[in-house]
């Protein structure tokens, strides 16, 4: 059976100080977009191992889909395993949440195919064990995300946007980005805006948006092309343009399809996608 695994963008990302568990507190707006990996799941009742196909360059034991499947079978007590094949469209190391989305999709898929043996709250618990961004992909199209990523407040924007995603052609390690941030930036201990103020900004008019990505200074310093891409998106008419997450993909949000199409000409020679934000 086929399951679609969407990408996300961080329209806003504030980063707070380090927590006792080694993670940073964040305050972010996650928004799903219509760029999908296609995941095919084939149950193998007589098998004793999970097989992953199509995720080139990712060692099987390190693959979040493999970890998600093994975790599901351990927690559910179901015998047998599965074959998971992925048609990968979301770039790796781009800040678009592809690996986290894939993990959540595999958990949901296996739970569905086995008759919903685990309740939704248990799935959220398993997602949290797999990674900070994974729980978001179990829910709706948009959320204010806080804590280390496990606190979700779903929101439903009054409209959708066209999204121009631009891939600069290289990945960025999230772990390295946080190391640069810790070395060069003094994290806010109190995040501004906080989750409630961020929700009010999202629900307000775009001309009052004051979103930012706290990673931007360290990323722009190392990869000036990212700043040029974001500036090109902004000058091309985006209501907001930024790097997504820890990078490397950049995005612009546009009011109209025509406006987004017009901006495409600025990025000839680069890989890009023209997509929409998802609605509830």
CA separation for the pair 184, 202 (Å, rounded):
29
pLDDT at 191 (0 to 100): 87
Is 208 annotated as catalytic? no
pLDDT at 123 (0 to 100): 97
pLDDT at 268 (0 to 100): 86
Is 133 annotated as catalytic? yes
Query: Is residue 280 pLDDT above 70, yes or no?
Result: no
Token look-up 């034991």 returns 61
| Cis bond before residue 23 (omega within 30° of 0) | no
* Model confidence, pTM: 0.95
pLDDT at 65 (0 to 100): 98
| Residues in a beta bridge with 30 | 10, 143
Query: Is residue 188 pLDDT above 80, yes or no?
Result: no
Whole-number CA gyration radius for the chain: 19
Q: What is the strand order of the sheet 240-243 is part of?
A: 240-243, 250-254, 162-167, 271-276
- Span 117-140, mean pLDDT? 95
- Which of the following is catalytic: 37, 63, 67, 133? 133
Q: And the tokens for 26?
A: 């964040």
Q: Where are the domains of the chain?
A: 2-154, 162-276
pLDDT in tens, 219-264: 999 999 999 999 999 999 999 999 999 999 999 999 999 999 999 9
Q: What percent of the chain has pLDDT over 90?
A: 86
pLDDT at 17 (0 to 100): 86
Label residue 195 exposed, middle or buried (CB < 10 Å: 0-12, 13-18, 19+): middle
pLDDT at 157 (0 to 100): 86
The helix-helix angle for 64-76 and 120-130 (nearest 10°) equals 140
- Span 84-96, mean pLDDT? 97
Superfamily the domain 162-276 falls into: GHMP kinase, C-terminal domain (3.30.70.890)
User: What is the CATH number that goes with domain 2-154?
Assistant: 3.30.230.10
Query: Is residue 88 pLDDT above 70, yes or no?
Result: yes
The residue among 71 and 203 whose pLDDT is bigger is: 71
- Which of the following is catalytic: 8, 32, 67, 275? 8
């Amino acid at each position: 059976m086929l399951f679609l695994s969407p990408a996300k963008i961080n329209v806003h990302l504030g980063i707070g100080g380090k927590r006792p568990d080694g993670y940073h507190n964040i305050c972010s707006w996650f928004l799903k977009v219509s760029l999908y990996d296609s995941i095919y799941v084939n149950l193998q009742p007589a098998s004793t191992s999970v097989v992953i196909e199509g995720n080139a360059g990712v060692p099987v034991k390190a693959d979040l889909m493999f970890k998600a499947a093994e975790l599901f079978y351990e927690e559910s007590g179901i015998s047998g395993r599965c074959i998971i094949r992925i048609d990968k469209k979301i770039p790796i190391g781009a800040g678009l949440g592809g690996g986290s989305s894939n993990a959540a999709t595999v958990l949901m898929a296996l739970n569905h195919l086995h008759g919903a043996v685990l309740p939704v709250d248990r799935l959220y618990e398993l997602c949290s064990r797999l990674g900070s961004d994974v729980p978001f992909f179990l829910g709706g199209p948009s959320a204010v995300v806080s804590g280390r990523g496990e606190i979700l407040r779903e929101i439903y924007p009054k409209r959708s946007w066209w999204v121009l995603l631009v891939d600069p052609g290289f990945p960025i390690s999230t772990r390295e980005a946080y190391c640069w941030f810790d070395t060069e930036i003094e994290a806010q201990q109190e995040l501004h805006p906080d989750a409630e103020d961020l929700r009010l900004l999202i629900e307000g008019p775009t001309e009052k948006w004051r979103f930012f990505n706290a990673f931007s200074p360290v990323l722009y310093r190392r990869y000036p092309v990212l700043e040029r891409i974001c500036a090109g998106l902004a000058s091309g008419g985006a209501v907001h343009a930024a790097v997504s997450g820890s990078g490397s993909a950049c995005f612009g949000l546009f009011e109209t399809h025509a406006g987004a199409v017009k901006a495409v000409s600025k990025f000839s020679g680069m890989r890009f996608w023209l997509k929409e934000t998802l609605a509830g």
